[in-house]
Structure 1
Amino acid sequence: MAMSTRLAKSLSKLIFPVILLIVAALAAASVWLTYRTAHPDAVKYLVTPEKYAQLSSRGSQVTDETWTNKDGSTSRGWLLRGIENAPAVVLFHKYGADRSYILNLGVKLNESTNFTVLMPDLRAHGENAPVKNSSFGGCEAEDAISAVEFIRNLKTPNQITLVGKDVGVYGIELGASAALNAAAIDKTIKALVLDSVPENSDALVTDAVSRRFPFASSITTRLAKVGTFLYFFDGCYKRDPSCETAKKIDGRSILLLAGLDAPDFQESTTKLSKCFASGNKIESKTDLSPSGVGIINASIDQSEAYDRRIIDFFRNNLGN
């Protein structure tokens, strides 16, 4: 009996360090995956306003602006001023993209409506990003509110407030999550276009990890989701479902978009349409091919049709 007890103790002394090492390795791997995903690869802008000016005179009117977020960090964006007292729209890109992906839409929107248009880089996106860490929609929502405040405080050369009372927001995927969360807090946002809205931040992480680390993605995505609890323990990572956020929004005009090119987000966006209160005016088009997620690879005709749908929606629902 004594020998059995000693043997058990000896085995436990051997096995426990191994188990501890495995747990530590898994924890380290989960944090590393989250860290890598929260830091998208830095890429050059697809197009700059200077280059775009060769196609449209509005491109030469784009200015590069910066402002301070609620947490003291800095955001930046391209700004196209509209006419005095006209509405404004803020455009938010998807994860892994940057403001150059929405420059064409922003210029077209400004040309067609004379609205003021702001195109920010989300956290950790764009060349030499001032904030290096994405939070998959949490801090981005606070940043979106700061962007709306910035655009509301714009002045004309005569120090008259430039933007009228109506503001709209547009976002794809990560940008849609930020726009949705911002609208739930800022009741002055009147119109929303949300393309491919994730079910929650975990869904964003899952999609980003599976694209970035496709090998054994079923394992890496689970590890990364666990890693968010450790990596964002003192941050602003939000786990609230988009549906719960949508229930806080009332009295707005909302256009929901999604498509076959992002089936997971197509499903979550379709479900989201049932979450908004009855006081909202909801339009939905969730069978696009492609959605805004893949619009960069679309034909000219497809891109034109997509942009026209968004421009017409904002024209019809802002300033009326």
Structure 2
Amino acid sequence: MAGTKRLLRSFFKLLLPIFVLAAAAVAALSVWLVREASAPLTKVYLVTPEKYGQLSARGAKITEETWPNQDGTTSRGWLLRGELNQPAVIMLHRYGTDRSHVLNLGVKLNEATNFTILMPDQRGHGQNPLIPNSTFGGCEATDLVAAVGFLRGLRSAEQFQLVGSQIGVYGIELGALAAIFAAEKEPAIKALVLDSIPRDSDALLEYTISRKYPFASSVTSEFAAIGTHAYFYEGCYRRVPACEAAKNITERRTLLLAGIDAPQFQESTSRTSKCFPANTTVDLKTDLSPSGMDMTNASLDLSEAYDQRIIDFLKLALTLP
């Protein structure tokens, strides 16, 4: 009996280094996956205000702005000023794109409404990003609250407050998740247009990993979810589902969109639509083809119809009493 125990102890001692090395390898792989996913490939802007301004008088008025975030970092965005005391709208792109992807819609919205439009680059995005890494909606939400504060501080040439009391947000995917998290905390956000809402930050991370590493994506996604605990330690990565945040968004007007081009977000958007309180209005359209996720490849007619739906909603939602 004593000999058997000694044999087992020897066996476990032999295997222990292997278990430790395996655990260390899994941990290292998990953190590496998160680090890779949180740093999107930066691309040249589709179009800049300088080029857009050659075609649009409104576009020529866009300015480059920066403002401080709550954690001491700095955000940047394109600003198109509207009329005095009119609402403002913040336009948030999806993961892997940048502010140039919402530039055309932002200018059209300004032309149709005279609202002030702010188009930020989210964390880790845009040419030479000011903040290198995305947090998949967590810090982006607090950055959005800071952007609301920036808009509140804008002044006209006569030093009157430029933006009125109503602020809206348009967000796709990453932008939609950040908008829900921010609207839960920021009552100044009165209207939301949310396209392709992920279930939560983990779901957005999984989607990102699956696109970057499609081979065995389910396994790599699980590893990445584990890695967020170490990589975002003391950070603002949020594990709260969009549905839970939506439950606290009261007395707002929302338009929720999704399409067949991103079926995983069709389901999560539909589920989130049922989470808002009864005193928040919810318009739901989940059969778009395509949704905003793939609008750059849509026909001109489809793109125009998509933009007009958003413009009409925000114009009404932000001017009704």
Mark yes or no: TM-score above 0.5. Answer: yes
Show the 5 A alignment for 1:78-93: 78-93=78-93
Show the 5 A alignment for 1:225-244: 225-244=225-244
CA offset at residue 45 of structure 1?
0.9
Distance 2:183 2:9 in 1: 59
Describe the superposition over 1:232-273 as per-residue Cα deviations: whole angstroms up to 9, x where unpaired. Answer: 121111111111100101111100000001111110001111
User: In the alignment, does 2:23 pair up with 1:12?
Assistant: no
2:105 corresponds in structure 1 to 105
Give 1:143's aligned amino acid: D
Give 1:8's aligned amino acid: L
Give the SS at the match of 2:284.
Answer: strand
Distance 1:194 1:2 in 2: 67
Give 1:223's aligned amino acid: F
Q: CA RMSD in A?
A: 1.0
CA offset at residue 118 of structure 1?
0.2
1:137 corresponds in structure 2 to 137
2:295 corresponds in structure 1 to 295
Give the SS at the match of 1:307.
Answer: helix
Show the 5 A alignment for 1:29-68: 29-68=29-68
Show the 5 A alignment for 1:111-260: 111-260=111-260
Distance 1:13 1:133 in 2: 41
Give 2:117's aligned amino acid: V
Give 2:271's aligned amino acid: K
CA offset at residue 5 of structure 1?
3.7
Per mean C-alpha deviation after superposition, the further-off stretch among 268-277 and 9-18 is 9-18
Distance 1:4 1:253 in 2: 71
Describe the superposition over 1:39-90 as per-residue Cα deviations: whole angstroms up to 9, x where unpaired. Answer: 1112111111111112212221110000001111100000000011111100
Identity %: 58
CA offset at residue 34 of structure 1?
0.6
Describe the superposition over 1:120-159 as per-residue Cα deviations: whole angstroms up to 9, x where unpaired. Answer: 0001111111111111111110000011111121101111
Distance 2:289 2:85 in 1: 36
TM-score (norm 2): 0.98
Give 1:141's aligned amino acid: A
CA offset at residue 3 of structure 1?
4.3
1:263 corresponds in structure 2 to 263
TM-score (norm 1): 0.98
Distance 2:13 2:278 in 1: 62
Distance 2:2 2:86 in 1: 87
Q: Return 5+ residue gaps in structure 1 as ranges.
A: none
Give the SS at the match of 2:36.
Answer: helix
Distance 1:59 1:315 in 2: 19
Give the SS at the match of 1:279.
Answer: coil
1:24 corresponds in structure 2 to 24
Give the SS at the match of 2:59.
Answer: helix
Describe the superposition over 1:169-206 as per-residue Cα deviations: whole angstroms up to 9, x where unpaired. Answer: 11000000111111111112111101111111110001
Distance 2:3 2:182 in 1: 66
Give the SS at the match of 1:293.
Answer: helix
Q: Return 5+ residue gaps in structure 2 as ranges.
A: none
CA offset at residue 291 of structure 1?
0.6
Give 1:67's aligned amino acid: W
CA offset at residue 287 of structure 1?
0.6
CA offset at residue 7 of structure 1?
3.0
Give the SS at the match of 1:284.
Answer: strand
Give the SS at the match of 1:77.
Answer: strand
Distance 2:314 2:298 in 1: 22
Distance 1:151 1:6 in 2: 71
Report runs of 4+ in structure 1 exceeding 4 Å deviation. none
